[in-house]
Amino acid sequence: MVFADTLAVNSSRCNNQDSQANAVKFIDYMSSVDTKLWIAFSEDLDSGTPPRRALPAIKAFYDQP
């Protein structure tokens, strides 16, 4: 199984530069390989938790050692 992330932004709530900049920062964080590795290998859970079975749909994830 492969997963992809989607972020919907409400234009009536994100209509200023601060909101737009924060949305871009969040998207950059969630799209980073480090975050994808953290999620895929269950590093947000207790030690010893097996990796998740859903895999990120970004090539850079698979280029990691």
* Tens of each residue's pLDDT in the chain, 65 residues: 555 667 777 778 778 888 888 888 988 998 899 998 888 889 888 988 998 877 777 788 888 88
Per-residue pLDDT at 3: 59
Which amino acid, one-letter code, is at 22? N
**Where are the domains positioned within the chain?**
14-62
Q: What are the distances in angstroms from CA 31 to CA 5, 10, 15, 18, 47?
A: 8, 20, 22, 20, 24
Contact (Cβ atoms closer than 8 angstroms) between residue 51 and residue 39: no
Per-residue pLDDT at 4: 62
